[in-house]
Amino acid sequence: MIYINAFLTCGIICGIGQIILDNTKLTPGHLNSILVVIGALLSFFGIYDVLLKIAGAGASVPITNFGHILFKGAYEGFKQDGITGLLNNILSSTSGGLSTAIILAFIVAIFSKPKN
């Protein structure tokens, strides 16, 4: 049942994103930003934690999880140190993933040939 919940949750999130892309003039960049904000809003209202318990990896793989992680880091920093903690802690929980993405993008750019 865990696998089915994960598959359905991730599929629904991705399916909604694809429907939005197909029926609007939004670009993939716009949609990514919207999904990150939606993830942060769901985290703010406490819904995303419930979704993670139900779906597991099905909720932690899509881009909405990035908004959830950003919100959690910012909120923990705010609870500890106020506004300065919010600003200092917002990227602390995502720094590993961001660093990996930057390093791998650099490596791929070295070995890729751009189109003219």
* Digit-coded pLDDT (tens) for 52-94: 999 988 888 888 999 999 999 999 999 998 888 888 888 888 8
- Structurally, the chain folds into a number of domains equal to 1
pLDDT in tens, 7-36: 999 999 999 999 999 999 999 999 999 999
Range of the domain at 69: 2-111
Ramachandran area for residue 104 (φ above 0: left; ψ -120 to 50: alpha; else beta): alpha
Asked whether residue 116 is domain-assigned, the answer is: no
- Residue 98's pLDDT band (cuts 50, 70, 90): confident
Torsion of CA 84, 85, 89, 90, to 10 degrees: -60
Count of CB atoms within 10 A of residue 7's CB?
13
The model's pTM is 0.81
- Its sign, for the CA torsion 37, 98, 13, 34, is positive
Asked if residue 40 belongs to a domain, the reply is yes
pLDDT at 28: 93
71 domain-assigned: yes
